[in-house]
Amino acid sequence: MATIPGTTLGAMIRTWRDRLPPSAAGLTGARGRRAAGLRREELADLAGVSVDYVVRLEQGRATTPSASVVASLARALQLSTTERDHAYRLAGLVPPVDGTISDHIPPGVLRVLARLGDVAVAVFAADWQLVWWNRGWGALLGDPSGAEPRLRNFARDRFPVGAGPAHLARWPVSEADHDATDAAVVSDLRRATGRFPRDSRLAATIRDLHAGNNRFAELWETGGVAAHREDHKTIHHPAVGPVTVDCDVLTDGDSELKIVIMTAPPGSEDETKLRLTAVAGAPAVPYT
């Protein structure tokens, strides 16, 4: 049977790319720009994939992208939930279902995040999997793009299993109340199990940490259920020295996305240092 024109995954990626103005993705349009929408290289950069792969997808030479790639493209293209699910099906994948965690960031939320400029902000899924961060976040904490995607998880960083470097914060981080933050993260994960009882990634994370980290197992057995909302951290930045920030966690609707924002009081020395990290720190890029 012949394919209906314009309905393949590649054709839809081109359509969605052409309709998204650069300004909506936080990009500054250059003078004399002929493309009204995103260029292929801009989409590739936003989604954390190669330009060649975007070309092969659009030309139909790559037809089976992974779920993580489809999720990244959906975020970069600012697709609605229905459009995202359509992209999954065109790729031969099953869309996320109720009871499982979604990494999708709604277009409206992405537009708000783009307007925050260099404020250090990142978005985590309900299981504390890092799904998006901006240049300010990478500059303050170090760019996490070099870490394996599966390990870009705040809970796994918080309660390491075995030896190895941190995956999210490249510089040392200390807190006003370390024990309270530990308990809050574990309690938040337990709360997620009630909201997303069928999520395999969440279950695997909890199994791994419970078996491999005594501190996590001890806190898990207390049965605490709560949301992690705020914290105070000091980042020991290698270029500007210690930067103390307020860390606030905002939650987005039913998907339980966690928008983590790091700020310092206006006019303070820490605010000055925070601004300096944008110059001294390494820029961040999205991951695949």
pLDDT of the residue at 197: 86
- Is a pLDDT exceeding 80 seen at residue 11? yes
pTM of the prediction? 0.71
- Is a pLDDT exceeding 90 seen at residue 276? yes
CATH 3.30.450 boundaries in the chain: 107-280
Angle between helices 81-90 and 9-19 (to 10 degrees): 150
137 — pLDDT class (breaks 50, 70, 90):
very high
Cα 135 from Cα 142, distance rounded (Å): 10
- Is a pLDDT exceeding 70 seen at residue 239? yes
286 — pLDDT class (breaks 50, 70, 90):
very low
pLDDT of the residue at 198: 85
Q: Around Cβ 236, how many Cβ atoms within 10 Å?
A: 13
Dihedral pair phi/psi, residue 260, rounded to 5°: -105, 120
Domain covering 107-280 in this structure, CATH number = 3.30.450
> For the residues 230-251, what does the mean pLDDT come to?
92
Cα 174 from Cα 260, distance rounded (Å): 17
- Is a pLDDT exceeding 80 seen at residue 280? no
48 — pLDDT class (breaks 50, 70, 90):
confident
**Nearest-CA neighbor of 37 among 82, 92, 76, 91?**
76
β-pairing verdict for 241-252 and 257-263: antiparallel
Which run of H or of E encompasses 235? strand 230-237
Tell me which of 41 and 168 has the higher pLDDT: 41
77 — pLDDT class (breaks 50, 70, 90):
very high
Identity of the residue numbered 234: T
Sign of the torsion angle spanned by Cα atoms 58, 60, 62, 65: positive
pLDDT of the residue at 282: 52
Cβ-proximal residues to 238 (8 Å cutoff; 6+ apart), any chain? 171
CATH class entry, domain 9-90: mainly alpha
**Nearest-CA neighbor of 149 among 3, 24, 4, 288?**
288
Two tokens at 267? 């006019």
CATH 1.10.260.40 boundaries in the chain: 9-90
Strand partners, 246: 232, 263
> For the residues 131-140, what does the mean pLDDT come to?
91
Cα 128 from Cα 279, distance rounded (Å): 28
Question: Which pLDDT tens digit goes with each residue over 144-171?
Answer: 887 888 788 999 999 998 766 667 878 8
Dihedral pair phi/psi, residue 223, rounded to 5°: 80, 15
